[in-house]
Amino acid sequence: MATRLLFRDDAYLSRASARVIAVHERGIELDQTIFYPQGGGQLGDSGRMLRESGEPIAISDTRKGDAPDGVLHVGAADAPVPEVGESVTLELDWQRRYALMRLHTALHVMSCVVVAPVTGGNIAPDKARLDFDIDIHLLDAARIERDTNALIARSVPTETVWITDAELDARPELIKTMSVQPPRGAGRVRLLRIPDIDLQPCGGTHVRNIGEIGAIRVLRIRSEGKRNKRVEIALAN
């Protein structure tokens, strides 16, 4: 079943109400959600649902369902199971999500400092990485850190832009990430624009202004295979 993805229009919603539309082994489905399902390299959200009685249902992970825009809220092992039709209040583990948003947006900025095809990526609350198809000797941790932080210091607002599938097909240069398909659906694709820095298809959650990232540090650079040179970063504070 399809779920209204509230985070797509407002990544800063940390609390919302919803109705349970299905409950099964793989998770709880809602009519709408603020929980981001794992995808595009970004981990799924955790948090809790509050029942009308006030009883909490701990949500340990969020995954994509089978339907387009389907979202499965995965209850913790010992969590109570809600009834279909029940109203619940959703609460994100906001600290964790905000770290994911800052690191995710930082990867967009870093992908403009390292100019090479992106072959993979991952965003966890404590660190994030991109893999590049590049000669590892061209990856200088100090330079990547300095140049990425110089761009972050511009503190420009980010924008979400939608284009049609046909427009994206006409501009293949927009797709930097070879391992992740652009988030297509209903004939349109969502892009993240960081004016004068980056423009690429992305369905993830981002900060409103890149200044919110603060600064990053490069944790390490290593080879993960012929076409995967990994740059791992963390938030500086």
CB 36 within 8 A of CB 70: no
202 binds Zn ion (CB under 5 A): yes
Q: How far is the CB of 42 from Zn ion (least distance, A)?
A: 8
Task: State which residue has the least CB distance to Zn ion.
Answer: 202
Closest to Zn ion by CB, 28 vs 192, is: 192
Rounded CA gap, 130 and 128, in Å? 7
Closest to Zn ion by CB, 33 vs 200, is: 200
Q: How far is the CB of 151 from Zn ion (least distance, A)?
A: 15
Closest to Zn ion by CB, 157 vs 225, is: 157
Closest to Zn ion by CB, 28 vs 202, is: 202
Would you state the structure tokens that stand for residue 46, as one six-digit string?
């955790």
Closest to Zn ion by CB, 189 vs 192, is: 192
Binding positions for Zn ion, 175-194, rule CB under 5 A? 192
Q: How far is the CB of 203 from Zn ion (least distance, A)?
A: 7
Q: How far is the CB of 120 from Zn ion (least distance, A)?
A: 14
Region near Zn ion per CB under 5 A, out of 8-16, 164-172, 201-209, 217-225: 201-209
Closest to Zn ion by CB, 34 vs 192, is: 192
134 binds Zn ion (CB under 5 A): no
Region near Zn ion per CB under 5 A, out of 7-15, 79-87, 89-97, 200-208: 200-208
- Mapped to the 3 state alphabet, what secondary structure does the chain carry? CCCEEHHHHCCCCCEEEEEEEEEECCEEEECEECCCCCECCECCCCEEEEECCCCEEEEEEEEECCCCCCEEEEECCCCCCCCCCCEEEEEECHHHHHHHHHHHHHHHHHCCCCCCCEEEEEECCCCEEEEECCCHHHCCHHHHHHHHHHHHCCCCECEEEEEEHHHHHCCHHHCCECCCCCCEECCEEEEEEECCCEEEECCCCCCCEHHHHCCEEEEEEEECCCCCEEEEEEECC
Interacting residue with Zn ion among 37, 82, 182, 204 (CB under 5 A): 204
- By CB under 5 A, the count of residues binding Zn ion is 3
Q: How far is the CB of 140 from Zn ion (least distance, A)?
A: 24
Q: Is 188 left (phi over 0), alpha (psi -120 to 50) or beta?
A: beta
Write out the residues near Zn ion by the rule CB under 5 A. 192, 202, 204
